[in-house]
Structure 1
Amino acid sequence: MRAVKINLYYIYTILTITGLLAGGCKSAKVPLAATPFAPLHERLPPLETAADPGPLALSDGILPEDPLRLLTNELQRNLAEPTDSATYGYVRLVITQAAERRLNRGLQALQMTLLLTPTFLGVPLETYQTDLTAELQISDAQGHLLGTYAGKGRGRARVAMYHGYAQKNAPRLADVLALRDALAHIRPQLDTAAARLRPLLLAHPVDNPTLPTTAARGRR
């Protein structure tokens, strides 16, 4: 009988965790969609975009379309001028390194025994952390690489009640925040380089809007 009570206790605890994490957490929609407004002093001309997730493609969190969407948002909001049709080069996002960790997982067993009381007091069940390095490769219309700019980023997403995110959303949010952080570190480099890049890009428009092989290979 005691064994049955213990089993029921853990079943109720697991069901409680599932219900709380599904319905009582922050929404990840706003952080995933938001891009900070920090435009370059001199924007680049309109560019064709491409993204290579590299090792981040193995992540359980990020969606295949997220890197390109983040790059496009960053380009439209901060880096390049608006475009109607003409483009003057290429920008390629390449994620060269990525590492993911799950922090504080040891606290979950303790929280289960305490019926999740700590999570109501601000203690997360666990935290997803992503560290990555990303590059932006800028090429002209002929596919000549004009510059490569790299930045490191870190993203963290806590799994917790009310002040955290649901288990299913946290891995993706950590990946997205890390990539956005890397882009934020790249932005000042482009701000410095824009005066040099702009005339080189404006020299020729892109005739065929596809990423050239030279640009796709990236840094040599």
Structure 2
Amino acid sequence: MNGSDGVNLVWLIGCLVLVVSALSVRRMSLNMLVRATLGWAAIILVVLFAVAHRYELAAAWSSLSNRLGLEEQQAEGSTVRIRMSADGHYWARVKLNGVERNMLVDSGATVTAVSQDTAKSAGIQPADGLPAIIATANGNVAAQRGRIADLTLGPLKMHDVGVVMSASFGDTDVLGMNFLSRLHSWRVEGNVLVLEPVRPTAGTETSQRN
């Protein structure tokens, strides 16, 4: 083997080493990419499942919390007490025409508001007439007006409650001041929201339209 052949052999071996090294690095990167892709796919599937079955999951969690004594909403006679959630808000378990939803209790909202999905499930029909203009965090939005025939929050029962509905509300349902104002009183004690019903007296109407 002459010197020229030796140099060519060295170059050939060097090239082979570089190719093998490149393939090894690429193979490792591909494995990592596959694992990362599968991981994100699993996360996306879990999120999609949770969104699609959010109401069933909420009901299951409520049932489990009740069994473990962790229930955030409790009734003491005709008074309802709701503990503050981890997000700093008060969420009430409410039935709208018999359909159960978790609703945000918001004293800053003038009127009770529900998503279109909730309105459809509860059979809340939009009323005729001009839409209501509602101020939201994203600006003013137009919403359809309607009436909730029966609203139940534990032992608290109301009839013919005004409501607005719009796709712009997303999935959040809100109990507003037109609900709170029909109570005898509502207040916050520590981190617990206390809702007390009107005490009926002889000759006094126990409910009013809002």
Richer in helix (by share):
1
The higher relative CO (CA closer than 8 Å, separation ≥ 6) is in 1
Normalised to the residue count of structure 1, the TM-score between the two structures is: 0.28
User: TM-score scaled by structure 2?
Assistant: 0.29
